[in-house]
């Protein structure tokens, strides 16, 4: 039976554990890295950690504008108990270590004997560390002896043992001859900032200069500020005669610093350096000339002007200091101030530039051409190339890409539209990928992946094209010759195929091309799995038969058999998952409402292969002015259907004419 005392004891135990819980905030590129870092800081296992996500991380665009994960991590109660158990074990196994503390430099004790106003004065300082203390014998040997000197040895011994507390104490007397006393003069600089004394040594039976006397004489000259008692004390301990010694200094005024701008980007473009790989090799295509920023990113901060600190002369006269000068905040285009009124933020994605004294974020980047001079372009905004994109160079943008010239065997990637005024000649190595639509004069030997529409004037030749909506060719020579084209809704051209046959032309419509490609990959993998399972089954059967005959197998063959069982199980699991995904994609493709059609206002040549949905049609006779569509599970031919102007955007948004 559970009693109230049991519950109370359990609650007290839980409270103790809660008090021991530790929590930290961690940020890292990935969640796994953040947990690993927290485990190191909390000195525990990841399995003992619990966490709350404060800010989810993001990979950003092409690795730019990457956001880290921010999580609040704390130990579970199980982790706390485990930590306490380990600490207790360590305290039993390891003897308590002794903290040696800071290193102390050994120094022997010191003493000073001086003669002030008929008195023999002694100051004794204690030793440091393992230094040797002062002895009475040392002191007595130092004190002058004679008829005019009287020493109290007991007092000397007392102070040798107990020190004097850093001050001078009387240990005897002497008959002073004032005529032979040490003398000094006080000199004050013309700017009233420095006070020095110049002393002469005492002669026989003359008195030395006491610190009190120096202080009185300095103050008699009107000095009220900056008297340095430590320097006076040091002079008295170890007098320096015939050389000026500073004993007081005024406070110099300190002018305040002017306001200035602290930039978070490189303002001198000549200092931007070519990127190097991990092995030190330089890629001259990566010139690193663009400084991309994202909306909200801190670009610079105005550091406020400082007030000056007033000074003071030896006579207490105040010296004014200049306050730092203020400056305006250099706000340019597409930037804004944070709530503190002095932090400059980007108000949009783009390239940060310092134009004159203004900080600007340019959402559009213009280059004459993409080549060895410009290097590859990666930009958080729209890129306009006024010339060509040369072979081997890449352009990647989070906005649009517009090329006035041609594109060679290059890579173009944009989240928005891509416009190529002339043509794209990929030479089987180039690729184009965009998140909206593509416009080009022609596309040849290039891999193309477009989310919306493709609008081409002259032709698509031997290209591998994937389009989630329509592929439209509208021009006098609007021909599709060779290649493999996918479109979800429609493919429309003037000519499809070629009279002489030549390269194979395959057109597919009526389904999601990416899902179809994934389906093809899965079917190919499933076919390979069937072959792999057949081979595994053969090997398993062979070993099982050997085991039946011999009653047992050598250890290495037993291990091989166990490994074959494991591989077989893994392959079966993979096959079942693939089969489920294949069925899911097939169901999705069959449920698509878009049927799809292929149209040619001119000629469709024999040899062209068409797929509408999953129905194949191979053109065997030359056909003119035709639209192919699916009806009752068969591909039918009808009169050519022109593209509807209502459903196609013929010019890109924000197109810049030239």
Mean pLDDT (the chain, rounded):
84
3-state secondary structure 378-399: EECCEEEECCCECCCCEEEECC
Indicate the domain borders of the chain.
4-89, 110-175, 179-249, 264-306+329-361, 364-512+594-647, 517-591
Which tokens sit at 151? 């020493």
Bridging pattern class, strands 597-604 and 110-116? unpaired
Query: What long-range pairs does 326-329 form, CB within 8 A, spacing at least 24?
Result: 326/258, 326/259, 327/258, 327/259, 327/260, 327/261, 327/302, 329/261, 329/302
CA distance 60 to 29: 11
Domain boundaries 264-306+329-361, corresponding CATH code: 2.40.50
What is the rounded distance in angstroms from the CA atom of residue 577 to the CA atom of residue 585? 12
Chain segment 150-181, per-residue pLDDT in tens? 999 999 999 988 888 889 999 999 999 999 99
Per-residue pLDDT tens for 425-452? 999 999 999 998 999 999 999 999 999 8
CA–CA separation, 356 and 342 (whole Å): 19
Using DSSP, state whether 20 is helix, strand or coil: helix
Q: 626, 616, 593: which is closest to 488 by C-alpha?
A: 593
Higher pLDDT, 7 or 547: 547
For the segment 195-218, the average pLDDT, to the nearest whole number, is 93
Using the predicted structure, report yes or no on whether residue 496 has a pLDDT greater than 70.
yes
**17-74 pLDDT tens trace:** 555 566 777 777 777 777 777 776 777 777 777 777 778 777 766 555 667 778 887 7
355 close to 268: Cβ distance less than 8 angstroms: no
- Give the span between the Cα atoms of 178 and 345, in whole angstroms: 77
Which range has the worst mean pLDDT, 96-100, 332-336, 384-388, 554-558?
A: 96-100
For 584-642, the pLDDT digits (tens) are 888 877 766 667 899 999 999 999 999 998 789 999 999 999 999 988 889 999 999 98
Q: Which DSSP state fits 632?
A: T
pLDDT in tens, 257-313: 999 999 988 877 555 544 544 554 434 445 556 677 888 999 999 999 999 899 999
Rounded Cα distance between 446 and 443, Å, is 7
What is the per-residue DSSP string for 50-96? EEEEEE--B--BTTBS-B-EEEEEEE-HHHHHHHHHHHHHHHHHSPP
Give me the CATH code for the 4-89 domain, please.
3.30.1660
Give the pLDDT band (50/70/90) at residue 105. Answer: confident
Residue 649 pLDDT more than 70? no
Distances (CA, A) of 512 to 432, 467, 473: 19, 9, 20
């Amino acid at each position: 039976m559970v009693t109230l005392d049991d519950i109370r004891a359990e609650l007290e135990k839980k409270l103790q554990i809660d008090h021991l819980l530790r929590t930290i905030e961690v940020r890292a590129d990935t969640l796994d890295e953040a947990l690993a870092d927290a485990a190191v800081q909390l000195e525990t296992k990841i399995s003992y950690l619990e966490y709350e996500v404060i800010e989810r991380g993001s990979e950003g665009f092409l690795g730019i504008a990457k956001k880290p994960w921010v999580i609040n991590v704390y130990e579970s109660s199980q982790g706390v108990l485990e930590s306490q158990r380990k600490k207790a074990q360590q305290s039993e196994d390891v003897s308590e270590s002794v903290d040696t503390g800071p290193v102390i430099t050994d120094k022997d004790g010191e003493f000073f004997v001086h003669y002030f106003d008929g008195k023999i004065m002694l100051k004794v300082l204690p030793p440091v560390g393992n230094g040797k203390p002062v002895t009475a014998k040392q002191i007595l040997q130092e004190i002058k002896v004679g008829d005019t000197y009287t020493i109290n040895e007991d007092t000397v011994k007392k102070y040798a043992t107990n020190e004097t507390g850093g001050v001078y104490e009387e240990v005897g007397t002497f008959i002073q001859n004032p005529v032979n006393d040490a003398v000094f003069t006080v000199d004050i600089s013309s700017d009233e900032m420095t006070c020095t004394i110049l002393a002469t040594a005492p002669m026989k039976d003359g008195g030395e200069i006491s610190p009190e006397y120096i202080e009185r004489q300095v103050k008699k000259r009107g000095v009220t500020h900056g008297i340095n008692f430590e320097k006076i004390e040091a002079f008295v301990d170890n007098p320096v005669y015939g050389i000026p010694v500073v004993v007081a200094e005024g406070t110099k005024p300190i002018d305040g610093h002017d306001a200035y701008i602290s930039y978070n980007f490189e303002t001198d473009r000549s200092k931007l350096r070519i990127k190097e790989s991990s092995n030190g090799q330089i890629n001259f295509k990566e010139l690193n000339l663009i400084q991309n920023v994202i909306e909200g990113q801190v670009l610079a901060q105005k550091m406020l002007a400082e007030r000056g600190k007033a000074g003071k002369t030896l006579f207490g006269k105040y010296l004014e200091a200049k306050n730092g000068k203020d400056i305006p905040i250099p706000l340019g285009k597409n930037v804004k101030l944070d709530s503190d009124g002095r932090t400059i933020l980007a108000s949009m994605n783009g390239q940060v530039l310092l134009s004159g004294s203004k900080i600007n974020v340019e959402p559009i980047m213009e280059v004459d051409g993409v080549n060895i001079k410009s290097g590859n372009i990666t930009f958080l905004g729209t890129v306009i190339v006024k010339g060509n994109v040369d072979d081997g160079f890449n352009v990647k943008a989070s906005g649009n890409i517009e090329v006035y010239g041609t594109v060679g065997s290059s890579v173009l990637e944009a989240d928005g539209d891509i416009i190529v005024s002339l043509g794209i000649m990929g030479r089987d190595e180039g690729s184009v990928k965009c998140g909206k639509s593509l416009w080009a004069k022609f596309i040849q030997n290039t891999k193309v992946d477009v989310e919306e529409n493709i609008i081409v004037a002259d032709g698509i030749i031997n290209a591998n094209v994937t389009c989630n909506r329509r592929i439209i060719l509208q021009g006098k020579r609007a021909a599709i010759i060779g290649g493999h084209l996918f479109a979800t809704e429609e493919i429309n051209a003037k000519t499809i195929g070629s009279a002489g046959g030549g390269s194979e032309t395959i057109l597919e419509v009526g389904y999601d091309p990416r899902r179809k490609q994934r389906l093809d990959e899965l079917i190919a993998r499933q076919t390979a799995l069937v072959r792999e399972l057949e081979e595994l089954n053969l090997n398993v059967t062979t070993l099982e038969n050997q085991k039946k005959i011999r009653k047992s197998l050598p250890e290495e063959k037993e291990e091989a058999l166990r490994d074959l069982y494991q591989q077989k199980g893994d392959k079966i699991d993979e096959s079942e998952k693939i089969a489920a995904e294949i069925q899911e994609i097939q169901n999705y493709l069959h449920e698509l409402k878009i049927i799809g059609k292929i149209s040619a206002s001119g000629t469709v040549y024999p040899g062209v292969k068409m797929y509408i949905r999953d129905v194949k049609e191979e053109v065997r006779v030359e056909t003119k002015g035709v639209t192919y569509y699916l009806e009752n599970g068969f591909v039918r031919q009808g009169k050519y259907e022109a593209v509807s102007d209502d459903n196609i955007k013929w010019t890109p948004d924000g197109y810049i004419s030239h």
